[in-house]
Structure 1
Amino acid sequence: MGGEMGGEMGFYLALAAMAAASYACRVAGYLLMGWVPITPRLEAALKAMPLGVMVGIVTPAASSGRAPELLGLVAVAVVMRLSGKDVIAAVVGAAVVALARRFLA
């Protein structure tokens, strides 16, 4: 019983450390960008960054060629085309992948 409690405490400490590190990165980025002049080139790079992150997340899933992931990509493309809202498309894509994994597996 004592070992379980120690493992649980370790989990909560790791979770708190990850939350603190995530928050520190956000705050540091915000504070440091206050000192950086925003040129058109930097602005373009900052605007392209979310797309680069999404490509990095989606590429391994798409290259696996499994049906749930491919259905999710199709759903994202359709929702993006119809709505133009990337957050909605990402949520719909994740839901389609989850449902497809549940019912196709």
Structure 2
Amino acid sequence: MIDATTLFTIVLMAGVTYLTRVGGYLVLRNRTLSARATAVMEAAPGCVLISVIAPAFVSRNPADLLALAITFVAATRFSMLPTVLIGVASAGILRHLIG
């Protein structure tokens, strides 16, 4: 069973994530973005993904290193969503099998 603190933390994180999405929409809804600003906005999800997987580059855990390699190969062949799903699934499965 999940304890109350963990559940509360998850709910708050989801709320903050939602508010940043809605806040961005409300701030930018009546504006026309320059080409440079559009490029920055399109690159932001990739930057977030890199910040999440970057610690795996310095990991000594073989499961994490294998999952990182699988994710890298997937990134060269698929778009963002399948790559993320493949990365998460491979990390979970390899951590379960290898430890």
Range of TM-score over shorter length? 0.7 to 0.9
Aligned length: 97
TM-superposed CA distance for 1:14, in Å, is: 5.3
Structure showing greater Rg: 1
Q: TM-score if structure 2 supplies the norm length?
A: 0.78
1:62 matched residue in structure 2: 57
TM-superposed CA distance for 1:23, in Å, is: 2.6
TM-superposed CA distance for 1:12, in Å, is: 5.7
1:38 matched residue in structure 2: 33
Root-mean-square deviation (CA, aligned residues, Å) is 2.3
2:48 matched residue in structure 1: 53
> Percent same amino acid among aligned pairs?
24
Structure 2 unaligned blocks of 5 or more: none
Q: TM-score if structure 1 supplies the norm length?
A: 0.74
Local SS of the residue matching 2:33:
coil
* Deviation per residue, 1:10-57 (Å, 9 max, x gap): 666655544443332221110101244300110111111111111111
Q: Which has the larger helix fraction?
A: 1
